[in-house]
Structure 1
Amino acid sequence: MKTEITFIALILVLISCVKKDEVKSFPYESFVFSYAGLHHNNSIKFTKTDTVYLQKRFPSPVEIFYAILKKEDKNELNKYLSQFDFEKFDTVYVQDNLQDGESYLLNISKKDENKMIYIYGHNAPKKLYNFIDSLGSFKAKLKFIPVKRYVDFGNLKSILPPPPPPPEIDTLIYKSNIYSK
């Protein structure tokens, strides 16, 4: 009987001493990852909640989706983002003489601070491209559902295409017969 009680007590002590995985909280107010190329223009927004938003802007129409993270996926994401040091990177990496290349925008909001990293081409550090690839793999695991609601993805000016130029008004006026008699 004493050996059974000793054995049970030993097991309880060992179980209580096992180090449990530390659950990290989401390190930012929001984190938006945008990416664009010839055939796509999308943004993914991660927040403190378990909801992830996706906005597809191209090809048209603009659509917004959401996905709910499983607890283990949320913990994995929080841990990964907590370990990644965005501060050691520049804000712009642009490859000269490149047209129609891939572009990425990382927008990190923390309290009253905002850090943006814009990448166009292949001049950024490999660690950033590995991070971007891991976000793509993470996105692929999620099941997105359409939602009809406004979601603020922040400043996307550098990732959105410029508006088309206005029509040449002078040419239109001179070619019309309105002013001639």
Structure 2
Amino acid sequence: MKKQIIVFSFLFLFLSCAKKEKIETFPFDDFVFAGEALHSVFCIKFTKSDTVYYQRIFPKPIATSYAVINLEEKIKLSRLLRETNFEKFDTIYANQTVEDAQAYLINISNQGKRKSIYLYAREAPKELDRFIKSLGEIKKRLHFVPTNKRVDFGDLKSILPPPPPPMPVRNIN
């Protein structure tokens, strides 16, 4: 009986010390990616949890949904975010001579610090272009489910279309 206890103890100790895969945590508190084109406006929010939020802003009605990201996708996303040094990028990349072009907005929040990067008319460094394409691939693999939950996507003013002009007021005499 003593030999069995010793063998099991040794086996337990050996298995406990086996190298475990290190899963790095999500590098930001919030990461919001928004896109705007001629016929659509959307935003997607990644957080430290396994929930990803998506909101279609245009065409109306506004619709919010969520997806649960699996461990493999979360590891890919975390690696992608860690490998991209957002601090080195400017806050605006825009070609003002182009009208009605596609625009993107990246909003990052981490430990009270915020960074925004606005991209318009394909005026972005190649590294950011690759990053945006990778986010699109991750988004395509997620299955979003509608929700009524109110989600704060942060400041999206630079990507949202301007409000329509006010209706003319007619005087009744």
The bucket for the TM-score relative to the shorter chain is: 0.7 to 0.9
Q: SS in structure 1 opposite 2:134?
A: helix
The Cα of 1:83 is off from its aligned counterpart by 1.6
- The answer on whether the counterparts of 2:80 and 2:131 sit within 8 Å (CA) in structure 1 is no
Amino acid at match of 1:93: Y
Q: Deviations over 1:102-152 (max 9, x none)?
A: 000000000110000001112211111110000000000000000111000
Match for residue 11 of structure 2?
Answer: none
Who is 1:103 aligned against? Answer: 103
Instruction: Extract unaligned runs of 5+ from structure 1.
Output: 1-11
Task: Give the C-alpha shift of residue 21 in structure 1.
Answer: 4.0
Tell whether 2:96 aligns with 1:68: no
Displacement after TM superposition at 1:49 (Å)? 0.1
- Percent identity, please: 46
Match of 1:140 in 2: 140
Rg (Cα) greater in structure: 1
CA distance in 2 between partners of 1:77 and 1:44 (Å): 13
User: How far is the alpha carbon of 1:76 from its aligned partner?
Assistant: 1.5
Task: Indicate the residue corresponding to 1:118 in structure 2.
Answer: 118
Cα offset for 1:66? 0.3
Show structure 2 runs of 5+ residues with no match.
1-13
Alignment length, in residue pairs? Answer: 160
What is the CA RMSD across the aligned residues, in angstroms?
A: 2.0
1:27-42 correspondence runs (5 A): 27-42=27-42
Deviation at 1:20, TM superposition (A): 5.1
TM-score, normalisation: structure 2:
0.86
Q: What is the CA distance between 1:159 and its match in structure 2?
A: 0.5
Distance 1:126 1:21 in 2: 31
Higher mean C-alpha deviation, range 72-81 or range 57-66: 72-81
Superposition deviation, residue 166 in structure 1: 2.4
Letter in structure 1 aligned against 2:101:
G
Determine the C-alpha separation between the residues in 2 that align with 1:92 and 1:150. 29
